[in-house]
A and B are shown apart, each in its own frame.
Chain A
Amino acid sequence: MSGTPRSQAESPAPKGPAGLRAQIDNVGESLRQRYRALPRFARWGITMALFILAALLPHFMPYLSSRSNYWVAIILKIGLAALLALGLNIVVGFAGLLDLGYVAFFAIGAYTYAIMTGAVRFTLAQRESLPNFAELIPTFHMYFWLILFVAMGVALLAGVILGTPTLRLRGDYLAIVTLGFGEIVRIVARNLRDITGGPLGVKSIPHPAINVGSVHYDFGLNNNPYYWLVLVLISIVIFFVHRVNNSRVGRAWAAIREDEIAAAAMGVPTVRMKLLAFATGASIASIAGAIYASQVVYIDPQIATLLNPTFGSIIVLSMVVLGGMGGIWGPILGAAAIIFLPEYFRTLGDARFLVFGAALVVIMIFRPQGLIPSRRRAAELTGHDIHEGTVFETQHGVTSA
């Protein structure tokens, strides 16, 4: 191979499966180094080309498969999952907090949208056969864009209310409190019949639309516009994550994750920083929830369960862990793999949770850094006890990651 990257030249790769793994990592590392060595305009060019390619994906589908509609739907699902995974990655990967109630914020977003568009009012009126229920049919409108921000705000608020008492304490408490919170959101959605539509769910949730001057565009039942919307949001999140990673906040998160006491001693406002990560993750999930509700038209309290087969907290966590915590491409790859695999291998069907559960354990034991490791995270997770402070001494280049 010409142009051997430095890391490969330094240490001869060991044989066997460990050697193969090291080689795969080296390919990733060499790609990363080559990309960084490129001039700025070339990097921008590559990024834009990737974005355009991704945006045109629905148009390529008819050439790739005879069931293009089906595959576009899958890609949209992957996009939503990737958005969720990137959001959870901020909480789990960056701040090192285990959030097991992530889907609750997704449900909060979906319900905020359903309530604010009047879909709940319509559903209840129709269920009770009120004389004027037909007048209440919610129509698509520009408010979608406004409600997106409201949904974000509601989830932010819920995140702060939930996080403030819990994040002052050890990380384990957050895990169980969020686990309980997911259950609570489901119970509230089921029991507060007059506000949420109760156990039977909400229907006729309106699609978004753009209505500016002479431009009228209805998202409707077509999957493509939702996909593009999700793609734009993913791009924004990636940009945001990329910038934050190299900022004061990103460094504060890394410090908290590696040693919270030391971070506090160094003057990092740990509770505020953890709260920021938790609430940011929550608002991203909420946006994904609102988009999901507007696309599928019908939601019920079951979407908030831990084991929601597409977007449940555990599934999203598996995506982040499988792909690699703390990176950007890791969670996206994880989302693609975990949505795609059960679609492709139908036999996985009911057994997916069994497989994912086992996978979580196996990954934690053998490859805690995931498929596409973030360099810094990999150093922390692979057998260097953080509390003994060996990370910085044994892994050269970690501090500059």
Chain B
Amino acid sequence: MKNSNKLKQTTDRIILFFIYLSAFATALILVSIIGYITYRGLYRESRINKEILESRNIEYEFDNEKYIFLVNKTLKRNSLNITELDQILEKGIKNWSSVSETRAKIKIISLFRKEKEINRTYDIRNISTAEEMIKIFKSEPGTIGIIPLSARGKINLKNLKILYLDKNCVAAGYKVTEIINNSRLAVLSEKDLVKITNGEVSNWKEVKGHDIPLEMLSTADQVAKSSGGFAVVDYRKAVESGVSIIPVSYVRKGANFTPGFLFDKPAKAGKAGGISTIIINTLFMIVLTLLFSVPVGVGAAVYLTEYAAAGKVLKIIRLGIETLAGIPSIIFGLFGFIFFVDILNMGIGLLSGSLTVAMMIIPVIIRTSEEALRSVPLSYREGSLALGAGLWYTIRKIVLPAAKPGILSGVILSIGRALGETAALVFTMGFDYRLANGIKSSARVLSVHLYQLVREGISFERAFATAFVLMCFIFIINTATIALVSGKTKYGEKQ
């Protein structure tokens, strides 16, 4: 007898342990997911591989004379690499938007130059005074001003900055980048580069390369002839000599999420700019969806709870609603594509997308509204009817107001569902990230943007920032729901 009691106690303890374990594990998993997304959304620590080093030179040499480049301080770029600069000078790149997040036409002017070669070669406008140059900078924000290094002190740099020029690269002997045993030195870390230039490395294997002695050289031609040579050389010369170039990986740290991300328009497929238009498109979609789904959903719930007589038809309707609520959203997407986009010929756009999402959340709204309506005491209805009120009057004045918090919380929860919807929208609302300019215009919403950023490998940083914004929206919505449900209604009891 005693033994069996002991056994019971032990079993209870073991079961209790597992219950605790699962509860804590779930909490831990959720907290770490949310924490990770928040961390990655707010903070960026990414690696980028660059063939041209960030050497931060300021001079550009042309025909044995040194020049510096001035640009407006507002330009979102502090440096250019040598290939970008060549393209700009040769007018292959005409707008800053190709190489930065700023949208401005590039105009090149130069000062204190008279019929010198750089102007003739690249067709650059000559300016004679510093005042005139400042004026042009004001009227044309995308201006690049080229001045000789020697004239640096003569220009007031108040609203201007000196553009850094990156032009060097790491050249290595032919054996260093060979593939041996399926591996090769594909990239050097910034740390390793510093180690090498400080003379602390004598063999390539110390920097994750093959077992080849490292030879410090000074020109590209020397390196090209060596097997394990190393030199930091001018990129153009390295390309000319055909030496192997090893990219260097730089770690970028800093804020990933800036106010600009919320308020700027997206650009370059989402690589640049922010998500302002996408947020507004999302709001459009939510408003349209609610416009379609709330009247239908609440109306159906009123019919089912207040009017419909129990019977076979009601059972079938209920079954239909339950089934609809469980159908995967991609199927709604397919249906929306065939029915709204194709058969009704609405095209891929806000209207088709919102209708599709509305179809998806109507069952949710019906179920929550039904619940809310059923929780309104029968005595309210009796009291009203006994005073000679009609059923519709009773529903309008007594039942719906009493059920309002419950209905609202259902609606808000379904907004959350609509916000996170992706699959149903890909076919029906499209990917256009510009501001929707009509009910039939294609519009990208936050979740679809996130999907695109990751699927096409556009930018993980931006994907995380978008995920963070989406998560904040859901958080706000959930908080509002809790406030609504737990808060007192105006004249009612606590719900």
Asked if A pairs with B, the answer is no
Give A residues with C-beta under 8 Å from B.
none
Give B residues with C-beta under 8 Å from A.
none
